[in-house]
């Protein structure tokens, strides 16, 4: 089983969309996505600097738009398709579109709203996130509990992301758990924690008006790494996930249990393939960073080694 995975916030870099805009129809598709998300995605992906595209209400629709653009580009190259899909954090919106649960238009509307609502929630208190690399996971979680921090992302491969109040994160950096390295992340707030509750309510209201179909591909949820077969449930889980931890570690464990034989990560690719190389050793992967990578992705899907 070859699966498609879609990255989350922080995977974007200045100018990364430029090569994709050379594809036929890409400018028009991005213009439509821009209107739906209420962000100038062409300018954001080609002209704006790192600080500007780090803004939550820009980064989230930019990442999902790039994922969908590269997803459709691969579908134009080969009739072969992945058999399953999953997304990391905001990447779950792209996964729901790829699996047919929602359409492109609803996906881009929802991600625009999600970015704006999470930015607004983050502005209410001084919070942030830090990556904790290495160490014993139970010991790390125990230390976070002592500091009233939340393990927001369980990324697997010895990587966990802590989230919460900035003074507590500073104390974590000053006195890290044994065998760990703490790296503050350049994000606006404590995503996937109780601090995002206002954003959940805003997104739930909008999602209630969206028609959801059952997924046509095997679809995994960040909630617990399980497979979701009901479209409305998948959409509800996506909404709740804004204020609950991302269990990408459990997703990867489930990939292994389901016999996944290859992983294609869509633009802006690299992060999830990197995690898979550590947690799912030996599983073939392709990171679709530019249109030049589409041929390798198509070859993985068709089993063509040429």
Query: What tens digit of pLDDT does each residue of 90-149 get?
Result: 999 999 999 999 999 999 999 999 999 999 999 999 999 999 999 999 999 999 999 999
Instruction: For residue 152, count other CB atoms closer than 10 A to its CB.
Output: 24
Contacts of 206 (CB under 8 A, 6+ apart): 109, 110, 113
Euclidean distance between CA atoms 185 and 138, whole angstroms:
22
Query: What tens digit of pLDDT does each residue of 286-303 get?
Result: 999 999 999 999 999 998
**Residue labelled with tokens 């998300």:** 37
Euclidean distance between CA atoms 169 and 127, whole angstroms:
9
- Examine the pLDDT at 187 and tell me if it is beyond 90: no
Predicted TM-score (pTM) of this structure: 0.94
Q: Average per-residue pLDDT in the chain?
A: 95
- Apex CA 273: angle with CA 292 and CA 156, to 5°? 170
Of the candidates 239, 247, 223, which has an alpha carbon nearest to the alpha carbon of residue 160? 247
**What residues are annotated to the active site?**
89, 192
What domains can be seen in the chain, in order of their start residue?
Answer: 2-123+193-302 (3.40.366.10), 127-184 (3.30.70.250)
What single-letter DSSP state applies at residue 227?
Answer: B
């Amino acid at each position: 089983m070859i699966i498609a995975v879609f990255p989350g916030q922080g995977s974007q870099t200045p100018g990364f969309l430029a090569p994709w805009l050379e594809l036929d129809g890409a400018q028009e598709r991005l213009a439509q996505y821009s209107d739906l998300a209420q962000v100038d995605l062409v300018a954001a992906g080609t002209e704006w600097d790192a600080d500007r595209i780090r803004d939550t209400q820009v980064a989230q629709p930019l990442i999902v738009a790039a994922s969908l653009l590269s997803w459709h580009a691969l579908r134009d190259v080969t009739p072969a398709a992945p058999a399953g899909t999953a997304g990391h954090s905001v990447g779950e919106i792209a996964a729901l579109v790829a699996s047919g649960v929602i359409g492109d238009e609803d996906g881009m509307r929802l991600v625009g709203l999600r970015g704006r609502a999470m930015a607004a929630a983050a502005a209410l208190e001084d919070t942030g996130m830090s990556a904790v690399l290495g160490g014993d996971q139970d010991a790390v979680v125990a230390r976070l509990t002592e500091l009233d921090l939340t393990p927001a992302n369980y990324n697997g491969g010895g990587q966990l992301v802590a989230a919460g109040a900035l003074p507590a994160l500073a104390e974590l950096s000053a006195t890290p758990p044994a065998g760990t390295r703490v790296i503050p992340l350049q994000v606006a707030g404590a995503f996937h924690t109780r601090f995002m509750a206002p954003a959940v309510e805003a997104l739930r209201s909008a999602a209630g008006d969206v028609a959801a179909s059952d997924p046509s591909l095997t679809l995994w949820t960040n909630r617990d790494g399980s497979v979701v077969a009901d479209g409305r449930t998948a959409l509800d889980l996506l909404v709740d996930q804004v204020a609950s931890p991302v269990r990408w570690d459990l997703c990867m464990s489930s990939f292994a249990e389901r016999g996944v034989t290859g992983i294609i990560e869509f633009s802006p690719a690299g992060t999830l393939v990197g995690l898979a190389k550590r947690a799912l050793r030996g599983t073939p992967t392709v990171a679709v960073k530019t249109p030049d990578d589409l041929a390798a992705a198509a070859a993985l899907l068709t089993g063509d080694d040429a």
